[in-house]
Structure 1
C-alpha cells in the first residue's frame, strides 16, 4: 500500500506531504486548488510520462517522493532487489522521481537510479487507477472487451495470454510463408544462376593456386632464350667455363682459402675465415651445377606456351565472374553450393511451415471457443453485478447488458466482439453506452462498472487464499478513483460513498471527490488548499501556493459544509455535514 507522498514544485504545489492510511482516504478541495497535481505526482511515482510543463513556474525542477509498503509483496520486493534497490527493514521502499524544468526526468527506486519502465512495471502490481479518462475509454468496444476479460478472472486471462502467444507465432509463420511464396520466382532464378555457375566451375575444374602457377610458367616459356643466356653467363662466371681458370669465382675462392690455411699456423684466427671460404666454395659449386641443369632443361616450347595461355584464358573467364583469383572462385563455389541447398530446401521448409500453421489454426479455434465461453459466462455475471450496483445508485430498473457476439474475423484478442448496452428502464431498448444516456446516468453506469471490476478483483484475491507470507488474504493493489462520481448527486452520491467504503474495508482506496456525501465515508480526509503569498500584488501577479492537510473533528465538518453549500460557516450546511457523518457507517 501507499504510505505517503511528498511533492515539491509540481504545478501549483510548492511543497506538500500527503499521508495515506489504510481504508478509505478522500482528497477534496476547491476547483483549481491542485487536486490534479496530487494525482500527477502519484502518476510520476508510478512511472508515468513526465511533462516539463508541470514544473512550478520559477523552479528549476520538481521532486516527488513516495514511500510504498511492499513487505507483503515478495514478488515486488524481489523486483526491487533485481533493480539494485533496497527495501527498508520495515518493509517499505522509497520511490523518487525528479523532473527538471528543461524536461529531463530521473527515477530512483530504493536508493538506486532505475529506468522509468521499472517504476511502471512495479506500479502495475501495486496501484490500479480508475478515472474519468478510463470511463471515456470504456465506451470503446476494445476497452469493454478488456474490462470483461479482467472481470472474468485470472484463469481466463491466462488462457487469453496462451491464445495471444499462439496468434503471434501463427502471424510470424504466415509472414514467412508470404515472403517465401512472393519470392518463389526470384529464388528460382537465383538457383538457376547458381547451378550455371557451379556447372562452369566444375567443367573448368580449377586447382588451388593454379592461376599463379600458370602465370609463372607463361613468363618462363615466353622468355626462354633470355633466361637461358642469363643462366649460362652466370654459370660461366661462377664455374670458369670458357674463360681463364684463374678468372672464375670458384678458383678465386679456392685460392683465397689456401692462402689463409698456409698462414693459419702463425695466427689461428685466420683458420675460421678459411673455413668460411671453404663453405662459400661448396655453395658456389652447387650453384654452378644447378645453373648448368637449368640451362640444359630450359628449352623453347611453343606448344606448351600456347597450352598455358589457353588454360589461363579459361581460368580468366571464371575470375571475371566469380572472384579475383582462382582461390576466390573456389570459395564462391563452396558458398554457392550451400546457398543452393538452402534454396532447394525452401519447398520443404514451406511445407513444414504450412503444416505448423494448420496445427496453430486448430489450436486457435479451440482456444478462441474457450475464450468465448469464458466471456459469455463473465458477461452474464458482470451484467448482473453492474445492474445490482445501478439499483443502489438511484437507477432502479436500469440494466446493463454485456453482449458477446462473433467478430467479423478473429484477431489477437479472440473471435468475439464485446458491447456494453444500457437498458435505462424495463421495456426500453438496450443501446450502446454513450448513446441515449444522460451525463449523470453515464457517470453512474461507469462508476458501477468500475466498482464491479474492483470488487471482482478483491473477491478473486480472497478466494485465492493466504498471501505469499501465509498471513491474511492475497495482496491487492491500491485502488485510486479520480472523480469517478462526477455527474452523481443526492442519494446516489451517498450510495457511491457507501460502496467505496465497503471496498476500502478490504484494501486501500484513495478517492479524489467533490461530493460531501462520498467524503463523509472516509477513514482519512485530506484537503488541498490554495492561498496567495503576502507579496502577491493586487493585480493578480504572484504565484499561488497549494498545500495538503488532514482535517478532523470540526475542521472536517467545516470542509463538508463548504462542499455542500460553498459556505463553510453556514449553520445549515454544518448541520447537514454532521448528519452525513452520523449516518455514515465508517470513519467520521
Structure 2
C-alpha cells in the first residue's frame, strides 16, 4: 500500500504531501489546478520517461518521493536490495529527481538506480488506469493471467498439476536435443578423456608420491657428499679419542672440573653440564657412524627415480598443476566418461519417458483449456453487467480463448487469451487497444477490476478520470464500484464528478492560486465540512450555494447508505 507521496516543484505544484490510507481516496480540483500531477508523479515513480516541461518554472529541479508498504518476500524487496537499496520495516522509499537541465535520476531504497528498475519494482505494487496510460490489462500475458485468476480453484489445481509435468517434459526434450545435436562433440570429448585416462593409468600415480620421490632422489643424488660429511663429522667429534677430537677435549675439561669439585655448587653444576656434553657427543658420534654406513650409493635406483619423477611431471603439466589435481581430474573424467559412454542408453530411456510425458502434458493442457473457456464466458457476462451500469449499455466484452491445431504446449498451456471489445451493437469485437476510446477503455478497466477484485494481486489501483464523458446515474455507479473495489485494494482516483467523489473514504482537493505572475497549486485533505464545500463547487461552480450544499450532503448520505 502507498503510504506517503511528496511532490516538489512538479508542474504547477510548488510543494505538496499526501498521507495515503487504505480504502478509496479521491483527488478533485478545478480544471487546470493540477489534479493529474498526482498521477504524473506516480508515473515518474513507475519509470515513465522524464519530461523537462514537468519542472516548475524558476525551479532547479522537480522531485517526487513515495513510501510504499510491501509484503514480506515480495519481488520488489529483492529487486531493491540487489540494486544496493535498503528496505526498513517492509517499507520501500522510491524517488525521482528531474533537473531543469534535462537530467533525471531514479532512487530506490536510498540507492541510485536505472529508471527501468522503478518499473520492475512498482509493477506488482500499483496498476494505473488512465486515458493515456499503457494499461496493465492491455498486455496479452496480463489478460491470460486475469482470466486464470478468475477461473478459480479448479483452474489453480489444474495449473499446479500441469507445471511439474510440463517442466519435466521440456527438460527431457532439451536433453534429447543436446544428445543428438552434439554427438560429434561428445565423440571428440570421449577420445580426449580416454587418452588422458590411459596416460594417467599407465603412470599410476599415488597421492603424495611426488614429494616422497623428490626427497629420495635428492639423497641418492648427493649420497657421496652426505657419507663424506658424516665421516668427517664423526672423526671431528669422537675420532679415535686422539688429542684433536671434541670428545677428548670435553673429557679433559670434565676431569679438570671434577678435581676442583666440592667447593662451589655453581662450579659443580657447570661440571655436570660439561659431562652431559660428553655423553651427547658420544651419542651423536655413534649416530653419525651409523648414518655413514647406511648411505646408499645406487646409480640405477637414482635413474629409476628420475624417470618416475619425469613421468609424474608430464602428467602435472597436462592435468595438474599438482599431483593431487591430476588425481582429481582422473576421478572426474572417469565419471564423465561413464556419462558419455552411456549416451545410447540415455537416449533410449529419455525417449521412453518422453513418450509417456507427451500425452500427459496434452491431457493437462486440455483440462486447463476447458476450464479457461468455461471461465471466459462467465467473465464476459459479469463484465457486461458492470459496463452496462457505466453508461455503456450496448458495449460487450468477449474473452477469446484460441488454440491452434498444432499448438505446442507452453508454460501456461496451449491457449492464447485475448480480450475483445465492442462499444456498440452491430460492431465486431476488436482488441482492447483498437476497439475502445480512452474513456470507454477506462470504464472497461474499472468493470474488469471490480469483477476481478477478490482475485487481484496488485495492492493499489489508480484511476485517472475514469468517469470521463459520463454523468448522472452512471457517475453514481462509477463511485459505487470504486468504493466496492476499495474493499480489496487501495484505490486512488482523480475525478471531476461529485457523484464519484462522494463515495470516497478520503478526499484531497487541489486548489490553484494565481497572483498574476505565478500560478501555484496546493493539495489539502478535507473532512466533512470541507467535503461539502468541494462537492458544492463541483455541482454548481460555487461552494457557498445553499442548494448545491444541500445536494452535496444528499450525495454524501447516498454514498454512506
Query: Is the CA contact (8 Å cut-off) linking 2:402 and 2:415 kept in structure 1?
Result: yes
- Residue 447 of structure 2 is matched in structure 1 by 452
- Residue 58 of structure 1 is matched in structure 2 by 59
**1:212–1:513: structure 2 CA closer, same or farther, 3 Å change rule?**
same
Structure 2 CA distance for aligned equivalents of residues 3 and 238 of structure 1: 93
Query: Is the CA contact (8 Å cut-off) linking 2:479 and 2:499 kept in structure 1?
Result: no
- Residue 409 of structure 2 is matched in structure 1 by 410
- Residue 318 of structure 1 is matched in structure 2 by 312
1:371 Cα deviation after fit: 2.3
1:247 Cα deviation after fit: 3.6
> Over aligned residue pairs, what C-alpha RMSD do you find?
5.2
- Residue 259 of structure 1 is matched in structure 2 by 256
- Residue 387 of structure 1 is matched in structure 2 by 384
1:410 is paired with a residue of what secondary structure?
coil
- Residue 335 of structure 2 is matched in structure 1 by 341
Query: Is the CA contact (8 Å cut-off) linking 1:130 and 1:450 kept in structure 2?
Result: yes
Which structure 2 residues correspond to residues 272-311 of structure 1 after superposition, within 5 A?
272-294=269-291, 296=293, 301=297, 304-311=298-305
Correspondence for 2:366 among 342, 366, 369: 369
Q: Is the counterpart of residue 191 in structure 1 residue 202 in structure 2?
A: no
Which structure 2 residues correspond to residues 71-90 of structure 1 after superposition, within 5 A?
85=89
1:215 is paired with a residue of what secondary structure?
helix
Correspondence for 1:498 among 468, 476, 491: 476
Query: Is the CA contact (8 Å cut-off) linking 1:501 and 1:586 kept in structure 2?
Result: no
- Residue 539 of structure 1 is matched in structure 2 by none
Which structure 2 residues correspond to residues 150-299 of structure 1 after superposition, within 5 A?
150-153=149-152, 156=155, 159-160=158-159, 163=162, 182=182, 184-185=186-187, 187-202=189-204, 207=209, 209-221=211-223, 224=224, 229-241=228-240, 245-294=242-291, 296=293
Aligned length: 520
**1:165–1:586: structure 2 CA closer, same or farther, 3 Å change rule?**
farther
- Residue 511 of structure 1 is matched in structure 2 by 493
1:262 Cα deviation after fit: 1.7
1:415 Cα deviation after fit: 1.1
Structure 1 CA distance for aligned equivalents of residues 329 and 21 of structure 2: 70
Q: Is the counterpart of residue 586 in structure 1 residue 558 in structure 2?
A: yes
**1:547–1:273: structure 2 CA closer, same or farther, 3 Å change rule?**
closer
Q: Is the counterpart of residue 545 in structure 1 residue 540 in structure 2?
A: no
**1:117–1:431: structure 2 CA closer, same or farther, 3 Å change rule?**
closer
- Residue 27 of structure 2 is matched in structure 1 by 27
Query: Is the CA contact (8 Å cut-off) linking 1:204 and 1:315 kept in structure 2?
Result: no
Query: Is the CA contact (8 Å cut-off) linking 1:235 and 1:291 kept in structure 2?
Result: yes
Query: Is the CA contact (8 Å cut-off) linking 1:98 and 1:105 kept in structure 2?
Result: yes
TM-score of the superposed pair, with normalisation by structure 1: 0.68
Query: Is the CA contact (8 Å cut-off) linking 1:458 and 1:476 kept in structure 2?
Result: no
Query: Is the CA contact (8 Å cut-off) linking 2:533 and 2:549 kept in structure 1?
Result: no
1:160 Cα deviation after fit: 4.3
- Residue 102 of structure 2 is matched in structure 1 by none
Query: Is the CA contact (8 Å cut-off) linking 2:380 and 2:397 kept in structure 1?
Result: yes
Query: Is the CA contact (8 Å cut-off) linking 1:23 and 1:504 kept in structure 2?
Result: no
Deviations 1:93-135 (A, max 9, x none): x997665667364669xxxxxx9899959x74xx654333567
1:481 is paired with a residue of what secondary structure?
strand
TM-score of the superposed pair, with normalisation by structure 2: 0.71
- Residue 146 of structure 1 is matched in structure 2 by 145
- Residue 38 of structure 2 is matched in structure 1 by 38
1:402 is paired with a residue of what secondary structure?
strand
1:400 is paired with a residue of what secondary structure?
strand
Deviations 1:198-229 (A, max 9, x none): 312328999464422332243234xx3x5555
